[in-house]
Structure 1
Amino acid sequence: MTFQKRQINKIPKVKLRDNKWDKAEKWARGHILISILLIVLGALTLKGVVGALNAGAPFSVKQIVLSAVTQEIQTDRYGHTNILLLGVGGEGHDGENLTDTMILASIDQKNKLVPMLSIPRDLYVEPEELGWGTRINGVYQFILDETEDPEHAMDVLVEEVEKVTGIEIQYYAKVDFQGFVDVVDALGGVEVNLEESIYDPYYPSYPESLGGYETFYLEAGPQTLDGNTALKYVRSRKTTSDFDRARRQQEVIASVKDKATSLGILLNPGKLKNLFDAVSNNLETDLSWSEIIYLAGLADRFGTDAVLTEVLNDAANMPGGMLYTPEREYYGGAFVLIPYVSDFSEIHEFTHLFLYNPTIYLEDTSIQILNGTKIEGLAGMIKMQLVRYGFNVVHFGNAANELPEKTTIFANRELTKVGEETMQALTTVIPAEILPEPPPEYTLENFDTDASIIIEIGQDFVDFYNENEDHFYFGFF
């Protein structure tokens, strides 16, 4: 599938089937970053644990968890286990089978990290089986309607996400709103700390199919939220920004994970039973019992800062900002998101970098870009590109050397291990030679900068730029 990126007046009109629940002019359902990390790395485990206990297995919960290290789980060629995490409204909610929350979580056992990439529900895709285009959140529902086969519908959705990200997916887990509520309640609530009060007079009232609203208010300061309140906390967005909501979602993920994976909860029969009921009634997954047990062991070994999050979005000056909104008339009047470039290749590169080099996102090694070519504004364009890939570019400008032949990357001070990894990662985006030492004109004595890594753009970059000009964009403002 290809896309026209800028001259959208020349885009041929495409056939897009809109899902009947998702009206653009109606209130927008909040994307909930459902605490799937809990489901996958914690509460999901309880399904196997309690199931074993109910079957009379001759071992304790603690023994089951500790035995997880001997189990095996599917991985890709990089040793990661990639799980597609899906959130749906469920019964009583408008569009109950629309996958409005889609997160690709990559479990990195070596670094004990879980980078998670959120995929926007409005991303435009054209599943071959459907024969027409739609938002990605409607793929599962449409295939389910046509085939009445949930397993096949899930296979098609997984395939579409693989096309978008370029990542092989080993498993999926799907949870609904009620599952989120039940898990939080079974844990006795979650603790959050609000910097500011939330006042949202447009929160959708239940049942959502009626299109009504209710007021959601939460006072600033530390709070313990029950399941229903936690759901509102992570969904509300009408009077705050998507960035505020993302921070709230991450806060709830950390709080839920800490409670669910604590040894006290795992050894509490009452809470185990409640969590098991919540999971079994509202979670669907293709993880086997032994794989679930393996994940339990990982949950105990991963720290509270193990989760890294990025979102594919339409802000070209932000990490993951590789999408934009074309004129609706070319997509059947629907609001959709498509890539700036002509295909998903840029998203593939970003996803691969983020999932398989997660440590560089933990330490924002500072970068300066210096333009040694005659292309005006090139350093600024490269800065925007690198920022979209998640790099920390602090300065850009002109090179000290006039028309250097080669593009080079070097450090002008001692780097940490992560800094060295950042230099290597930069070469996957910018074709350049890494120098072991900075040139004399760029040593700290001769060049005043607080950046740790310098990229000097040489004449050899011009051909690369001309061949890939569509990757260097400032976005639509």
Structure 2
Amino acid sequence: MQKSKHIDFLSKETYKKDQIQQFCRPSKSFFTAKKIIPIMIVFVLFLAFTYTTRAVISSDTISEQFGNVSVVEQLKHLASAEDRMIQGQEQGRINILLLGIGGENHEGGNLTDTIIVASIDNKNNKLGMLSIPRDLVVPIEGVGWQKINAAHAYGIALDKNKKPQSGSTLATKTIESVTNLPIHYYIKIDFDGFVKIINALGGIRVEVPASFTDYEYPDENYGYEPVHFDAGWQNLSGDEALKYVRSRHGTSGEGSDFARALRQQQIIAALQARVLAMSTLLNPNKILAIADIIGKHVETNMQIWELMRLYDISKSVDLQNINHIVLDTSKSGLLVVDQNEEGTYLLRPSLGATDFSQIQQTAQNLVSENTQTNPIKTTEKNIETKLKVAIQNGTDHEGLAAQTADKIRNLSIVISDISNASQKGYEKTVIYALSENAMEQAQKIREILNANISPTIPEFLKKENVDVIIIVGEDNV
């Protein structure tokens, strides 16, 4: 058997090499699948799918996506599905891995950027969701330590037949190793599926709380496309909905990850309402269109009868009270920011690079009685009291930004970005206080780094969505 080439996904140069294109098809699109699928879209779609499969259970397109069992065999199971148990049900906990990928029409399309473990406690009718960031460095079987979002791509690359299911299989094994949870099923959706489903539904209607503009939304020509949303009720197409949930640099307080999370929840509720509306369920054309889209853009190892049984179980779960945990780098978070020798942004467990015990404990308690309900609200409150700090290396000394981060990590701040400055040659470290309430922490940083706070802010930094920017110079080597 031909030996597979090893590709280092922690290297910045990796993504520029031709060899990666063997399993990540190139595209002219600017999008690199970053946060392409909102946090719960996949879960809503699997609920929607149960309706469409009931209506068009004989769809050949769909059946190809559900395990390796023929349609005839699956139909035999449908009559007895009510009496059969799916994996994890007897133990009282069903764990489902939700994956979002760019897909074949997007650059790096096999890299996963949405990784969520959805855990259903079928005995107490609870649902917990654990979001795992794409930059977390983990051990990948047969590969070594790499970013977790590369597991799916490696699975396909190392399979001589290049089957998409191989990517999902390796991703599942990797998540099981990190969380110490048995993953019973996976559901994977691509970027285009989200857009097409909303368009097939005729769009969705959401209430925009405040008008905002994002001047740095990426277009398809490697530039920026300003997007704007007016306050009030708006009808959004699939493309507009995607921009609404992906915008990261909006004005009017819409530039934070938590503001974006709220918008994602809006879209999820709107999508769910639209899918389950009688005007959709009684419209065979819409049902067939959605079924066809899901058949082409969704992959799962569940058989149809298992998915329908899962739907029956989920009907008793309170979807308005989901325990949603996001692994982050906040003061009470379980991760810390790191950087390799080439300056690549990485995340590692706060207890140590190889110690996933806290993450495993959090995963185990995801649906337990002592787990805080809806901690995302608490986290949001905590983050709002802290300043976001970006650290940029303004020298040719590799790893200097990460070293600087270690010096100020004990301050009441969130280090949101570690990267290289756009220009090199900084002799002195410079601190820029971008927000009105940043000066107090900027003074503390100045004392630690023995640096100066600039009285003016360059134009190219004014649009940065942080409170403080540190450009590290030669004086802090």
TM-score greater than 0.5 by the shorter chain: yes
Work out whether 1:322 is the aligned partner of 2:334: yes
Work out whether 1:234 is the aligned partner of 2:245: yes
Are the equivalent residues in 2 in contact too, given 1:81–1:170 (CA < 8 A)?
yes
Q: Return the offset for 1:216.
A: 1.5
Q: After superposition, what is the alpha-carbon deviation per residue over 1:45-102, rounded to whole angstroms, capped at 9, x for unaligned?
A: 52464124899x9xxxxxx999864453211664121111111112332211110111
Q: CA RMSD in A?
A: 3.6
Aligned twin of 2:449 = none
Task: Report matched runs for 1:172-183 at 5 Å.
Answer: 172-183=186-197
Task: Report matched runs for 1:116-127 at 5 Å.
Answer: 116-127=129-140
Are the equivalent residues in 1 in contact too, given 2:130–2:325 (CA < 8 A)?
yes
Work out whether 1:111 is the aligned partner of 2:124: yes
Are the equivalent residues in 1 in contact too, given 2:195–2:242 (CA < 8 A)?
yes
In structure 2, C-alpha distance between the alignment counterparts of 1:74 and 1:236, rounded to whole Å: 37
Aligned twin of 1:159 = 173
Q: Return the offset for 1:105.
A: 0.7
In structure 1, C-alpha distance between the alignment counterparts of 2:163 and 2:173, rounded to whole Å: 16
Aligned twin of 1:41 = 47
In structure 2, C-alpha distance between the alignment counterparts of 1:74 and 1:253, rounded to whole Å: 27
Are the equivalent residues in 1 in contact too, given 2:9–2:150 (CA < 8 A)?
no
In structure 2, C-alpha distance between the alignment counterparts of 1:306 and 1:254, rounded to whole Å: 13
Q: Return the offset for 1:244.
A: 0.8
Work out whether 1:91 is the aligned partner of 2:96: no
Task: Report matched runs for 1:35-434 at 5 Å.
Answer: 35-47=41-53, 49-52=55-58, 69-75=82-88, 78-130=91-143, 132-147=144-159, 148-206=162-220, 210-239=221-250, 240-262=255-277, 265-298=280-313, 300-317=315-332, 321-329=333-341, 332-342=342-352, 343-357=355-369, 360-361=372-373
In structure 2, C-alpha distance between the alignment counterparts of 1:199 and 1:53, rounded to whole Å: 42
Are the equivalent residues in 1 in contact too, given 2:329–2:337 (CA < 8 A)?
yes
Q: SS at the partner of 1:296? A: helix
Q: After superposition, what is the alpha-carbon deviation per residue over 1:368-426, rounded to whole angstroms, capped at 9, x for unaligned?
A: xxxxxxxxxxxxxxxxxxx88x999xxxxxxxxxxxxxxxxxxxxxxxxxxxxxxxxxx
Higher relative contact order (CA 8 A, sep 6+): 1
In structure 1, C-alpha distance between the alignment counterparts of 2:207 and 2:181, rounded to whole Å: 35
Question: Match of 1:242, as an amino acid?
Answer: D
In structure 1, C-alpha distance between the alignment counterparts of 2:90 and 2:197, rounded to whole Å: 33
Are the equivalent residues in 1 in contact too, given 2:141–2:174 (CA < 8 A)?
no
Q: SS at the partner of 2:44? A: helix
Are the equivalent residues in 1 in contact too, given 2:324–2:375 (CA < 8 A)?
no
Aligned twin of 2:462 = none
Q: After superposition, what is the alpha-carbon deviation per residue over 1:155-195, rounded to whole angstroms, capped at 9, x for unaligned?
A: 21111111221211001111011111122222332232222
Q: Return the offset for 1:123.
A: 0.6
Question: Match of 2:240, as an amino acid?
Answer: T
Q: SS at the partner of 2:367? A: helix
How many residue pairs end up in the alignment? 344
Name the TM-score, length of structure 2 as normaliser: 0.64
Please list every run of 5 or more consecutive structure 2 residues that lacks an aligned counterpart in the other structure.
1-7, 18-29, 64-70, 72-76, 383-408, 414-477
Task: Rate the CA distance shift 1:47–1:198 in 2: closer, same or farther, 3 A.
Answer: farther
Are the equivalent residues in 1 in contact too, given 2:201–2:275 (CA < 8 A)?
yes
Q: Return the offset for 1:307.
A: 3.1
Q: SS at the partner of 1:214? A: coil
Q: SS at the partner of 1:196? A: coil
Task: Rate the CA distance shift 1:185–1:66 in 2: closer, same or farther, 3 A.
Answer: farther
Are the equivalent residues in 1 in contact too, given 2:36–2:191 (CA < 8 A)?
no
Are the equivalent residues in 1 in contact too, given 2:211–2:229 (CA < 8 A)?
yes
Q: After superposition, what is the alpha-carbon deviation per residue over 1:246-302, rounded to whole angstroms, capped at 9, x for unaligned?
A: 111122122222332345533432221121011011111111010122233345444
In structure 2, C-alpha distance between the alignment counterparts of 1:176 and 1:357, rounded to whole Å: 34
In structure 2, C-alpha distance between the alignment counterparts of 1:124 and 1:189, rounded to whole Å: 38
Task: Rate the CA distance shift 1:71–1:116 in 2: closer, same or farther, 3 A.
Answer: same
In structure 1, C-alpha distance between the alignment counterparts of 2:311 and 2:238, rounded to whole Å: 23
Task: Rate the CA distance shift 1:236–1:288 in 2: closer, same or farther, 3 A.
Answer: same
Task: Rate the CA distance shift 1:172–1:156 in 2: closer, same or farther, 3 A.
Answer: same
Q: SS at the partner of 1:79? A: coil
Q: After superposition, what is the alpha-carbon deviation per residue over 1:319-375, rounded to whole angstroms, capped at 9, x for unaligned?
A: xx110112432xx431110011020001111122223348741699xxxxxxxxxxx
In structure 1, C-alpha distance between the alignment counterparts of 2:412 and 2:381, rounded to whole Å: 21
Task: Rate the CA distance shift 1:19–1:291 in 2: closer, same or farther, 3 A.
Answer: farther
In structure 2, C-alpha distance between the alignment counterparts of 1:358 and 1:249, rounded to whole Å: 27
Task: Rate the CA distance shift 1:91–1:214 in 2: closer, same or farther, 3 A.
Answer: farther
In structure 2, C-alpha distance between the alignment counterparts of 1:15 and 1:283, rounded to whole Å: 25
Name the TM-score, length of structure 1 as normaliser: 0.64
Aligned twin of 2:461 = none
In structure 1, C-alpha distance between the alignment counterparts of 2:98 and 2:138, rounded to whole Å: 18
Task: Rate the CA distance shift 1:198–1:232 in 2: closer, same or farther, 3 A.
Answer: same
Are the equivalent residues in 1 in contact too, given 2:56–2:291 (CA < 8 A)?
yes
Worse overlay, 96-105 or 288-297: 288-297
Are the equivalent residues in 2 in contact too, given 1:65–1:296 (CA < 8 A)?
no
Question: Match of 1:310, as an amino acid?
Answer: I
In structure 2, C-alpha distance between the alignment counterparts of 1:358 and 1:268, rounded to whole Å: 44
Please list every run of 5 or more consecutive structure 1 residues that lacks an aligned counterpart in the other structure.
1-13, 58-63, 365-386, 393-472
Question: Match of 1:292, as an amino acid?
Answer: L
In structure 1, C-alpha distance between the alignment counterparts of 2:129 and 2:411, rounded to whole Å: 24
Q: Return the offset for 1:309.
A: 1.8
